[in-house]
Structure 1
Amino acid sequence: MNERDEQEPMRPEGMDDATVEAVGAVSEALEYVERARGHLYSFHQLMGHADLQLGEACDKLRDAGHEAVADQLESDIVGRNVLYGRWTFQIVEEFDDNYWSVFRDHERRVRDELQQGVRHVFEAEMKERRRTKGKAGHESRP
């Protein structure tokens, strides 16, 4: 076994299994929120791109001699709010300000209070249980 295969325990002294599991569950919930946030940003970019494409499509309809059809489509849909009073950038900002950043602060506070700020204690211990000590590709740390 080499030095890299030796890992100091990440678990703060005196921390019980139930607390490790509970804090891990809070962190996992935040990870799902992070994924949801990524999807929200994808939605934001997709909708913005679609709106620009629709504007170009309206120009093409006009060029093809369909002025009335283009005007109706453009006035009703191009630049339209996706939610009442909101474009997607406003949805993203509201989500970030009112949910995501608040949850991140709470998750950090829980870790600081219960795990002395150490992240991923649950996962680190799972890695130690599941890896094959001394085998290449199973090192505890880089």
Structure 2
Amino acid sequence: MTTPDGPDAAHQVPDGVGDATVEAVGKLTAALEVVEEARGMLYGVHRMTGRADNDLLEAIHALEDAGHADLARRIREDLFGQNVLSHRWTFQVVEDYDDNYWSRWRHWEKAARDELVQGRRHVYEAQLKEQNRTHGRPGHEARPVDGA
């Protein structure tokens, strides 16, 4: 089956938009992607910290069961349920990151796309794909076939 050649309309450079603008928006999107990756890592820290707290509770119970109640009590009082950062558990860190940092990145990246390239996403990358792919070669198609 043959696929249409070139990027679909949603990934083409709008009329009148210069290469420098496309590149600048592409750089802003790439920076947002780094923030997205950092956000994922932060959520990983959140999940791993929660898992560590659950594992700690099991260890405390094991110490108690092994006859070390005083040590278990001291660990429970000092470490179990402790804030990870000053006054915060990780869910509060994640919420603050999302509300005051990540959401602003997303806002400004979208605002730039809306204002400069008619809201189109990955226009710069679509240009790179056109430059780098081998036209006509299987596995190098410009875009998916409808329904695929």
TM-score by length of 2: 0.92
Give the alignment partner of residue 87 of structure 2, picking from 71, 85, 88: 85
Give the alignment partner of residue 66 of structure 1, picking from 50, 68, 77: 68
SS at match of 1:140: coil
Contact 2:3 2:141 in 1 (8 A): no
Could you say if the C-alpha distance between residues 91 and 8 of structure 1 is closer, same or farther in structure 2, counting changes exceeding 3 Å? closer
**Amino acid aligned to 2:104:** V
Deviation string 1:55-87 (CA, Å, 9 cap, x unpaired) is 110010010000111011111000000001100
How many angstroms does 1:4 deviate by? 2.2
How do residues 19-34 of structure 1 correspond to structure 2 at under 5 angstroms?
Answer: 19-34=21-36
Deviation string 1:100-142 (CA, Å, 9 cap, x unpaired) is 1111011000000011101111100000001111111111010
Runs of 4+ aligned structure 1 residues displaced above 2 Å come to 2-9
Could you say if the C-alpha distance between residues 16 and 62 of structure 1 is closer, same or farther in structure 2, counting changes exceeding 3 Å? same
Give the alignment partner of residue 42 of structure 2, picking from 37, 40, 43: 40
How many angstroms does 1:7 deviate by? 3.8
Where structure 1 has 5 or more consecutive residues not aligned to the other structure, the ranges are none
**Amino acid aligned to 2:108:** H
Where structure 2 has 5 or more consecutive residues not aligned to the other structure, the ranges are none
Match of 1:18 in 2: 20
Does the alignment pair 1:138 with 2:140? yes
> Distance in 1 between the 2:5 and 2:24 partners?
28
Aligned length: 142
**Amino acid aligned to 2:139:** G
> Distance in 2 between the 1:7 and 1:107 partners?
21
How do residues 116-131 of structure 1 correspond to structure 2 at under 5 angstroms?
Answer: 116-131=118-133
Contact 2:3 2:143 in 1 (8 A): no
> Distance in 2 between the 1:4 and 1:49 partners?
49
TM-score by length of 1: 0.96
Percent identity for Structure 1 against Structure 2 = 53
Does the alignment pair 1:4 with 2:4? yes
